[in-house]
A and B are shown apart, each in its own frame.
Chain A
Amino acid sequence: EVRLVESGGGLVQPGGSLRLSCAASGFTFSNYSMNWVRQAPGKRLEWVAYITSSSSTIHYADSVKGRFTISRDNPKNSLYLQMNSLRAEDTAIYYCARTQGAAYGYWGQGTLVTVSS
């Protein structure tokens, strides 16, 4: 059974940093590209970042470019999102999601990030 479990969310002040993790199991993690997708309270889903299986290609949404860094550790079956210079508008539930073609076939349960003073 495919499982994605996010962790690392919490309350952080504007300008602060946070590192999210996603632990993957039930599939060969190193074979799949992965993503972070977020959802602000009551809002639509918003793709945040993408990384290929070998980390050779990385893309970011314009809203986070230069502030967030996606990475992965294949031997540890883990995906990460380093978030710096956080803003109030970054407040959201952050999901890791496994790519399936141009869709997202599996999602974690999400971790809540709240940016507030």
Chain B
Amino acid sequence: SYVLTQPPSVSVAPGKTARIACGGNNIGGKSVHWYQQKPGQAPVLVVYDDSDRPSGIPERFSGSYSGNTATLTISRVEAGDEADYYCQMWDSSNNHPVFGGGTKVTVL
């Protein structure tokens, strides 16, 4: 089945920019969605359809992709952004969604 690969961890200083990659074969052309999950809490959708933000999500969160990699960018990182981030897309060959392994963002 389709596999989405994320780096296990990313560290970033407050006020700087964090970039989280999500790679997969032929990911281009497929919609990618991103979730933030803080410890002990449910996931929250922060970006959907590659680059759209749900209402209430700060503009600091943005999505993009190039080639076989989708990227979630968090600008002007704050301490409250410390969380696990998961990418997700639809595996049309198996007709079910697939999640990446998650990236732990640590704010230094």
Residues of A with Cβ closer than 8 Å to B? 44-47, 50, 59, 61, 95, 100-110
Contacts and interface: CB of A to CB of B under 8 A. Distances in A.
B108 interface: no
Contact of B42 (A61, A103, A110): A110
Contacts of B31: 101-103
B32 to A, nearest CB: 9
B97 A47 contact: yes
Interface size class on chain B is 20 to 34
A108 B49 contact: no
Contacts of B100: 44
Contacts of B86: 44-45
Contacts of A47: 96-99
A103 B88 contact: yes
Contacts, number: 56
A103 B49 contact: yes
A44 to B, nearest CB: 5
Interface of B: 31, 33, 35, 41-45, 48-49, 54, 86, 88-90, 95-102
A102 B50 CA distance: 11
B10 to A, nearest CB: 16
Give the residue among B41, B88, B100, B101 with the most A Cβ atoms within 10 A: B88
Contacts of B89: 102
A2 to B, nearest CB: 11
